[in-house]
Structure 1
Amino acid sequence: MNKRLYLELENCIGCRSCLAACTQCGGHDERNRNYVYDVNPLVNTQTMPLMCLHCVNPACARSCPAQAIQIHETGAVLSALVEKCIGCQNCTIACPYGIPKFDTEQNLMYKCDLCIDRSKDGIPPMCASVCPTNTLQWLTDEEIERKQKQFNVKNDKWVTSIHLENETNVRVNLPGILQGITKLY
């Protein structure tokens, strides 16, 4: 994978432009495949995007008895194939992040596929192409490494998903949170 989705969660302002863009991606049938979570709505306005982290060895695919969840050569974990999905919902239970959703009308699982029609050609996923605060970015590994050095955060604290599902193709950073730094927008 030449480029990866990179998330700087502390930048999220809850505008939800990523959600609107997601519905416009080819093949999504105007379905939103990402989410914006209100962290503590009774206390503050902090939000964060939630989306598939495209695990290298995804629990959703491992749990699928019909092999309906395929992994693209770029590392993107795709939604269930219509012709193979049997509607067992094992994938929705197996995902440690709670990302796959099940459409009971279509009897089919759907989730973020990194806008594979775009990202396979190096074009940013829709969510990253519209994010006004750079919460969602489409970067090379070298660009991500430069950001990591800028914040001087150890590698084991850089990717938050490392303890749940080992390696993921999406990188998530929390340097401001880990170092107690508050960003001003």
Structure 2
Amino acid sequence: MTEPTQYGFYVDTTKCTGCKACHVSCKDRKDLPAGVNWRRVYEYGGGSWSTNADGSFEQNVYSYYMSLGCNHCNEPVCVKACPTGAMHKRREDGLVQVFAEQCIGCESCARACPYDAPQLDQQRKVMTKCDGCADRVAEGKQPICVGSCPLRALDFDTMDNLTAKYGNGDGHIAPLPSESITSPNLIIKANKHGQPVSGGNGEILNFKEV
């Protein structure tokens, strides 16, 4: 018996410049309302300056960017939290999607997800989220966020193909949560300044944008 197909994302945080082309192209393609962002670009940074006795300065200031959408997790807590079955994981490709006609807008999925992937459409009162651009993938195309990245910092494929191409990556770095929560289908190449998911000395610098 063959293993079911599972799609996922690769993010190279050594290449991402925080331009937000992925964020904007996703929002534009789906004409998402204000306040709903299926893909977001986090700026994470920290460090400080200090003055030496001779008047010179030293610093260890850093920042890096993390592009994040839905990770179509192996253990999607959003699906477990949904009381109606509207949030579901597709058998054919592992993409996590929403049956809008079954959604009651209770936001249980949003409260459960550590990645802030499910987001409420205030006008329609239903949850929405990254659907992996399943219609584009069915046509042999990449998700719009991947195709719009000018630095080629994003990739999307089956997890078998991604691991063959990039290996297992460097694991989650801040500001992401621990991978153990949902077993996400996300491979990350860590920026040289990448901080651990807990105990990092930085913070999210662009809260109003995400």
Q: 1:162 to 1:21 in 2, by over 3 A?
A: same
Match of 1:169 among 185, 189, 192: 185
**Which residue of 2 is the match for residue 137 of structure 1?**
155
- The answer as to 2:20 corresponding to 1:16 is yes
Deviations 1:31-86 (A, max 9, x none): 541111121389655322121111022100110001111222211111x3221111
**Which residue of 2 is the match for residue 74 of structure 1?**
93
TM-score, structure 2 normalization: 0.68
Identity %: 32
TM-score, structure 1 normalization: 0.77
Structure 1 residue identity aligned to 2:129: K
What is the CA–CA distance in structure 1 between the aligned matches of 2:193 and 2:140, rounded to whole Å?
Answer: 30
What is the CA–CA distance in structure 2 between the aligned matches of 1:41 and 1:35, rounded to whole Å?
Answer: 20
What is the CA–CA distance in structure 1 between the aligned matches of 2:79 and 2:187, rounded to whole Å?
Answer: 20
Moved more, 29-38 or 82-91: 29-38
- The answer as to 2:45 corresponding to 1:40 is yes
Deviation at 1:115, TM superposition (A): 0.8
How many equivalent pairs are there? 167
3-state SS in 2 of match to 1:93: helix
- The answer as to 2:52 corresponding to 1:50 is no
Task: Assess if the C-alpha contact under 8 Å between 2:7 and 2:93 holds in 1.
Answer: no
RMSD value, Cα: 2.6
**Which residue of 2 is the match for residue 181 of structure 1?**
none
Deviation at 1:17, TM superposition (A): 0.7
What is the CA–CA distance in structure 1 between the aligned matches of 2:85 and 2:143, rounded to whole Å?
Answer: 25
Deviations 1:106-137 (A, max 9, x none): 21111111111112343210000111112111
3-state SS in 1 of match to 2:166: helix
- The answer as to 2:125 corresponding to 1:107 is yes
Task: Assess if the C-alpha contact under 8 Å between 1:6 and 1:144 holds in 2.
Answer: no
**Which residue of 2 is the match for residue 127 of structure 1?**
145
What is the CA–CA distance in structure 2 between the aligned matches of 1:171 and 1:82, rounded to whole Å?
Answer: 29
Deviation at 1:88, TM superposition (A): 0.9
Task: Assess if the C-alpha contact under 8 Å between 2:81 and 2:109 holds in 1.
Answer: yes
What is the CA–CA distance in structure 1 between the aligned matches of 2:162 and 2:87, rounded to whole Å?
Answer: 30
Q: 1:2 to 1:120 in 2, by over 3 A?
A: farther
Flag structure 2 segments of 5+ consecutive residues without an equivalent: 48-60, 173-177, 195-210
Q: 1:59 to 1:120 in 2, by over 3 A?
A: farther
Task: Assess if the C-alpha contact under 8 Å between 2:6 and 2:95 holds in 1.
Answer: no
Higher strand share: 2
Deviation at 1:2, TM superposition (A): 7.0
Higher helix share: 1
What is the CA–CA distance in structure 1 between the aligned matches of 2:187 and 2:108, rounded to whole Å?
Answer: 25
Task: Assess if the C-alpha contact under 8 Å between 2:10 and 2:162 holds in 1.
Answer: no
Moved more, 54-63 or 131-140: 131-140
Deviation at 1:177, TM superposition (A): 5.2
- The answer as to 2:81 corresponding to 1:63 is yes
